[in-house]
Amino acid sequence: MEPNQPAQVAKESSKAPTGIAGFDEITRGGLPRARTTLLVGGPGSGKTIMALQFLAHGARDCKEPGIFVAFEESSRRIEANAESFGWGLADLLRKKELFFLDAQPKSDLVQAGDFDLGGMLAALEAQAQAMRARRIVFDALDVVLALLPDPAAKRREIYRLHEWLLARELTGIITAKAGGDENSVVIQQPFGFMQFMVDCAVILDHSVALGVSYRNLRVQKYRGSGFDENESPFLIGNGGLVVDVARTRVHVHPKVSNERVPSGVERLDTMLGGGYYRGASILVTGYSGTAKTTLSGAFAGAACQRGEHTLFVSFDSDCNEVIRNLASVGIGLDRYVKSGCLRMISARSIAGSAESYLVRIKTEAEEHGARCLVIDPVSTWYKSSNDTTAQSVADRLIDWSKGEGITLVCTSLLDEMSNRTESGSPLQISTLADTWIHLSYLVQAGERNRGLSIVKSRGTAHSNQVRELILSDAGVTLADTYTAGGEVLMGTLRWEKERAERVASEAAEAAAKLKRVKLDAEEAELKVRMKSLETELVAKQVEKALLVRSTQSHEGELSRGRTQMKELRGDDETIAGGKASQP
Amino acid sequence: MRRQPQFTFRLFVAGDAPNSVQAVAHLAAFCRDHLADRHEIEIVDVFREPKRALAEGIFMTPTLVALTPPPVRRIVGTLSQTQTVLLTLGLLDSAA
């Protein structure tokens, strides 16, 4: 047999897809075809499942039959364990597209001297030819190597296996256990040099921090191919491994929309100049009880009303509780759940790592075809993870929702006791979120009132005013706060102040009315007086005219009378000097 | 006094790999020393008969399978450690 010829292999597709969501992305296509991949990880890190998934995918979807060599567990047990993943192993086994080889060292096996794996390889060779196998997995090779007496023998057998794989041009996976700290432990074992020998090495890591399990996967090397070098979280889901690919910052979001999505609160839309952007991520922060859930519920309700499929993830309370609580403020989600428009998931935060939730949310959202997504509260991740993990998960959540064009509303609880202020929400997602709404309390005059303000909203004009958030059984409304003398008043104080204003204005109005009436009266009086004066004037004028006329007639009369008298008295009077006679 | 049991061995070897060659030699010497004319040896080359190796679950070579007397015992390796072989076959007391 000729050893492997790379040039020849490269002609056909040089990678064998694993069918593991995310992993093929990291490795840009899968494992190196006709080469050997080393899969290292601690106990329970998912090596066997990953290897088996690779085989199942090959046999079922790639027409590449495979052989599974089980050194540790019996094949029947592995088969039974994998049954729940729904890969149809039984079917593949029946069709002879998959073959399990039980190679566990027997418990009664006695060892007397050195041995090698030639027998197994001979047997496998016969089997591989019979079923035209293209893929092969050696699961837990360390078990059999442990029987070999010295490191030289171990090394010799690893070489034998490796060369055999290359010569047969089988795409192989060798899994091996490693202790907790992969870097130190692996090097001590014969796998140390194996990592140099193989073409691809993948490290699986399973750790527990603060009682929460984390699974991470990292491609350590991959000859002749680029790959994502970062550690990627993965989890073992219902269908096998799911690797969560971290999108890098350079990733361009293809869907940038100018479309506005109503927030479910009318006044808030006005404050935001029309609502949220479609595909934007909205962060609602606030202390507990500041109506974060209500605000996000209003958004979900509005989305469902428009007929958009919505996913509501509630971390700390049960779905039915959320529905009941929201119904009390006039947000009826019940009917949307029934109609299938709204899907609600309740997930107690301590039950899993942030990664596992992210993957679950993604799967659920994709299944549901969600256009709007509510996560209440996202700060739970902070509780169940360490800062950096939760942070990176939140980053990926936002990246992903943007990429999918899903409008995301997440709430974040601020701890009242801690000194985290508005400037820093626990998860530093405030920098990534497009719109940040902050809810707060204002304690005044023995009452606690809710205030809403928009801290930021990218790309939209938004009001700088603090509004009072009022919850009633009719729904969520916003009211202007009363600002006076540099003081912001809410609740009863605002109401009182408003009432006082109302009373004052009423009084002023009444006073003005009175004044008007008074003036009217004065005006009327003056008018009356004017009228009587006018009448008097006319009377005077008449009197005056009368006087003039009577004077004239009197004089006329006089002169006429004198003439007559003169005439009567005769000429002598006239002669006597024309003296007027005295009457 | 021919009441001592007959031993039947099947030795799986991988062609002429050094381990296997050694095992054949060791087994022959062992039988000569401890089981003179009460043994039978079958040598199976897994390269020529891989199906048999598969069927019998022989993955490490050389493997010696002691078929009789029951129970069936398997000894893996070159059989260089004679004491271990004697112990496994239950011959230690009589040999001593």
> What would the pLDDT profile of A190-249 be if each residue is shown by its tens digit?
566 777 788 888 888 887 766 667 788 888 888 888 887 777 878 787 778 878 765 544
Q: In the 8-state DSSP scheme, what is residue A349? A: G
The verdict on a CB contact (< 8 Å) between B61 and A116 is: yes
Question: What local confidence, expressed as pLDDT, does residue A250 receive?
Answer: 42
- Of the candidates A150, A151, A172, which has an alpha carbon nearest to the alpha carbon of residue A161? A172
A125 to chain B: which residues are within 8 Å by CB? 50
Residue A10: its pLDDT value, please? 41
Which ipTM was obtained for this model? 0.83
In order of their start, the domains of chain B are 7-95 (3.40.30.10)
Search chain A and give the residue with CA nearest B82: A112
One-letter identity of residue A460: T
Average pLDDT estimate for A560-579: 69
Give the distance, in angstroms, between the CA of residue A410 and the centroid of all CA atoms in the same chain: 4
Percent of chain A with pLDDT over 70: 84
Residues of B in contact with A112 (CB under 8 A): 75-81, 84-85, 88
pLDDT tens figures, A481-502:
776 666 667 777 777 877 888 8
pLDDT computed for residue A199 by the predictor: 87
Lowest mean pLDDT among A63-77, A89-103, A228-242: A228-242
**What is the per-residue pLDDT for A346?**
81
CA-angle at A185, arms to A184 and A191, nearest 5°: 115
Contact yes or no for A407/A347 (Cβ under 8 A): no
Q: Which of B50, B61, B73 sits opposite A115 (nearest CB)?
A: B61
- Using a CB–CB cut-off of 8 Å, the residues of A that contact B are 101-103, 105-106, 108-120, 122-123, 125-127, 144, 147
**Chain B positions in Cβ-Cβ contact with residue A108 (cut-off 8 Å):** 73-74
* Residue A481 near residue A490, CB atoms below 8 Å: yes
Q: Search chain B and give the residue with CA nearest A70.
A: B59
Looking up tokens 């990429």, which residue turns up?
Answer: A403
Closest-CA distance of chain B to residue A388, Å: 47
Question: Are B74 and A110 a contacting pair at CB < 8 A?
Answer: yes
Could you give the CA distance from residue B34 to residue B4 in angstroms, rounded to a whole number?
A: 12
Residue A182's pLDDT is what?
A: 44
Q: Measured between beta carbons, which residues in chain B are less than 8 angstroms from residue A114?
A: 19, 22, 77-78, 80
| Smallest CA–CA distance from B84 into chain A, residue | A112
Which residue is closest to A153 within chain B, CA to CA? B19
Question: Which chain A residue has its CA at the smallest distance from B72's CA?
Answer: A108
- Chain B closest-CA separation from residue A101 CA (Å): 8
**Given a cut of 80, is residue A66 above it in pLDDT?**
yes
Task: Give the tens place of pLDDT for each residue, A312-327.
Answer: 888 877 888 888 888 8
Q: Say if the Cβ atoms of A109 and B74 lie within 8 Å.
A: yes
Distance CA A64, CA A57 (A): 8
Q: Which residue in chain A is spatially nearest to B75 when comparing CA positions? A: A110
- Give A446 or A416, the one with higher predicted confidence: A446
Given this model, what pLDDT does residue A185 score? 44
Per-residue pLDDT reduced to its tens digit, A573-582: 555 555 555 5
Lowest mean pLDDT of A4-13, A424-433, B49-58, name the range: A4-13
Give the span between the Cα atoms of A89 and B41, in whole angstroms: 40
* Of A347, A275, A354, residue with least CA distance to A313: A347
Kindly state the helix (H) or strand (E) to which residue A99 belongs, with its residue range. Answer: strand A98-102
Query: Residue A521 pLDDT more than 90?
Result: yes
**According to CATH, what is the number of the domain A260-480?**
3.40.50.300
Q: Is the pLDDT of residue A1 over 80?
A: no
Q: How far is B2 from chain A (nearest CA, A)?
A: 28
Average pLDDT, chain A: 79
Q: What is the mean pLDDT of residues A302-317?
A: 86
What spatial distance separates the first Cα and last Cα of chain A, rounded to whole Å? 181
Task: Round to whole Å and give the CA distance between A1 and A328.
Answer: 77
Mean pLDDT of chain B: 81
Please provide residue A444's backbone torsions phi and psi, each rounded to the nearest 5 degrees: -150, 135
Lowest mean pLDDT among A73-77, A281-285, B1-5: B1-5
Helices (H), A459-490: none
A260-480: same fold as A12-243?
yes
Mutate which: A72, A110, A124, vs B, most B CBs within 10 A: A110
Q: Is A219 helix (H, G, I), strand (E, B) or coil?
A: strand
pLDDT of A438 reads 85
pLDDT digits (tens, 9 = 90+) for A496-519: 877 888 888 999 999 999 999 999
For residue A536, what pLDDT is reported? 93
Element (H, E) at B13: strand B7-13
Looking at the predicted structure, is the pLDDT value of residue A274 above 90?
A: no
How do the domains of chain A map onto residue ranges? 12-243, 260-480
Q: What six digits make up the tokens of B81? A: 């450690």
Q: What is the mean pLDDT of residues A84-91?
A: 83
Q: Which CATH architecture has domain A12-243?
A: 3-Layer(aba) Sandwich (3.40)
Q: Would you state the pLDDT for residue A254? A: 56
Residues of B with Cβ-Cβ distance to A113 under 8 angstroms: 19, 22-23, 26, 77-81
CA B1 to chain A, closest CA, distance in angstroms equals 31
Helix A292-305 / helix A319-327 crossing angle, nearest 10 deg: 90
Query: Average pLDDT in the A411-434 region?
Result: 59
Residue A486 is predicted with a pLDDT of 63
pLDDT in tens, A252-269: 555 677 788 888 888 888
**Segment among A174-188, A427-441, A456-470 with least mean pLDDT:** A174-188
Buried b (16+ CB within 10 A) or exposed e, A235-247: bbeeebbbbbbbb
